[in-house]
Amino acid sequence: MTRLASLFTDHMVLQSGRSNPIWGWDRPGQAVTLRIEAARSMLDVVTAVTEADGAFRIACPALPVGGPYRLHVSGSRECTLDDVLSGEVWLASGQSNMEWKVSMSAHGAVEAAQARWPQIRVFGVAQRAAREPQTLVDGSWRPCSPETAGDFSAVGYYFAREIHRRLSVPVGVIDASWGGTRVEAWTSIEALRSVMDIDAERAHSENEPGALYHGMIAPLVPFGLRGVIWYQGESNVDNHPTYRDRFVALVRDWRAKWNGTGEVAFYFVQLAGFVDSLAWAYLREAQAEALAEPATGMAVTIDIGDPDDIHPRNKQDVGRRLALVALAGSYGQSGVEWSGPSVDRVEIGPGGVRVAFRHAAGLRARGGGEVRGFALAGDDRVCRAAQARIDGDAVIVTSPAVEVPVTVRYAWADNPDANLENAAGLPAAPFRTDRW
């Protein structure tokens, strides 16, 4: 009997601008036909034959943006998919700050009550850990409404809402997230072997290396995506020296698995402020180092954390900042400021340090007053709070306690008191020039 893979249900969103694979299973040697219907007219017919194991894959032709479409997949029986849209599809993944629901975000009840966006759809992937790659997941596509939005990933929803508002296209979000999980659980075993000792770091259940890749990501491959948004890292603070390699392994792994469906963009959230340990600063640095990978981008959230809560409630700005990165990086929108001030060059002199920034239009201290968050150190390697003043697209940093500086740091703490931003209200990312 004809059976489709899990993502192919009513209300789904297919990635526009490209052919999309539709796959499933039937009797070996069975002819399977895809018929595409729009406004009671037939657009296309595509046929495939199942393999010896019964698997089939049909290339659905690129559909014009919008819809709705009706898809008929006919083999030993017919499966009909109603209310299908063509638009932008993003995979939202990570741990609890990605899983965090709209209803639990700031003003969540109001946000959900106003969520009348029928062209935004979310597929919630059921949480499952597995020792071997799975072929199916539980879940269904749900159109956004006041009745459904409260249960959506807040970051995923606010991201989708911004993309939908800016581009006026349908947006689909596949939410595959699980609180308290480590990056290695989301990565395939073969990709992990070059960056960690799998056997030495065996965990249990959802944090077993590869477990969530097997149970929640493998069944999604190769569904057509524009890209991935990722919010994770809190559970890897304890092994921050290896996080960059593990995170990059995940990015490369997922892109390899989706090979042939276009370059998958990968945009991620740098951890917000939270009172814990200095290790958070090093984890943020490891995240930023992943920007060396092509088609990546980072939303900085150092200014919107909660020192007493690892789950800051302001998910609206997180989603919006990710969307700005996507609008510039994936959609080529000009005039969109998508980044806060980032270091361009550092000039260290005997009396102080000059830090020049990119994305520095309207460089300012958030809320007015003095710029806070900079520190200098000399040969003694003792970092001391420093004075900072804005000079065009640069900041001049000095300290009477450090006559001959050798390094400068900014926002280098678990929950730093740092306030540099640009005119778009986007914060400067933490950085350091030393490697102590």
Q: Are residues 92 and 77 in the same domain?
A: no
pLDDT at residue number 269? 98
CATH number of the domain encompassing residue 50: 2.60.40
How many of the other CB atoms lie within 10 Å of CB of 86? 25
Give me the tens of pLDDT residue by residue for the chain, a chain 436 residues long. Answer: 889 999 999 999 999 999 999 999 999 999 999 999 997 676 778 899 999 999 999 999 999 999 999 999 999 999 999 999 999 999 999 999 999 999 999 999 999 999 999 999 999 999 999 999 999 999 999 999 999 999 999 999 999 999 999 999 999 999 999 999 999 999 999 999 999 999 888 878 899 999 999 999 999 999 999 999 999 999 999 999 999 999 999 999 999 999 855 579 999 999 999 999 999 999 999 999 999 999 999 999 999 999 999 999 999 999 999 999 999 999 999 999 999 999 999 999 988 999 999 999 999 999 999 999 999 999 999 999 999 999 999 999 999 999 999 999 999 999 999 999 999 999 999 999 999 8
In sign, the C-alpha dihedral spanning 10, 137, 263, 248 is positive
- Write the DSSP symbol of residue 243: H
pLDDT at residue number 201? 81
Q: Is residue 194 part of a domain?
A: yes
Q: Are residues 94 and 51 in the same domain?
A: no
pLDDT at residue number 260? 59
pLDDT at residue number 146? 98
pLDDT at residue number 200? 82
Domain C-terminal end among 25, 56, 82 = 82
Number of domains the chain contains: 3
- Domain residues for the domain of 33 are 3-82
Q: Which residues contact 185 (CB under 8 A, 6 or more apart)?
A: 129, 203, 206, 207, 208, 209, 210, 211, 212, 213
How many of the other CB atoms lie within 10 Å of CB of 419? 21
pLDDT at residue number 1? 81
pLDDT at residue number 345? 97
Q: Is residue 337 part of a domain?
A: no
Q: Are residues 104 and 164 in the same domain?
A: yes
pTM over 0.85: yes
Q: Is residue 114 part of a domain?
A: yes
327-334: long-range contacts at Cβ-Cβ below 8 A with a sequence spacing of 24 or more? 327/162, 327/163, 327/166, 327/167, 328/297, 329/265, 329/267, 329/295, 329/297, 330/226, 330/227, 330/265, 331/167, 333/166
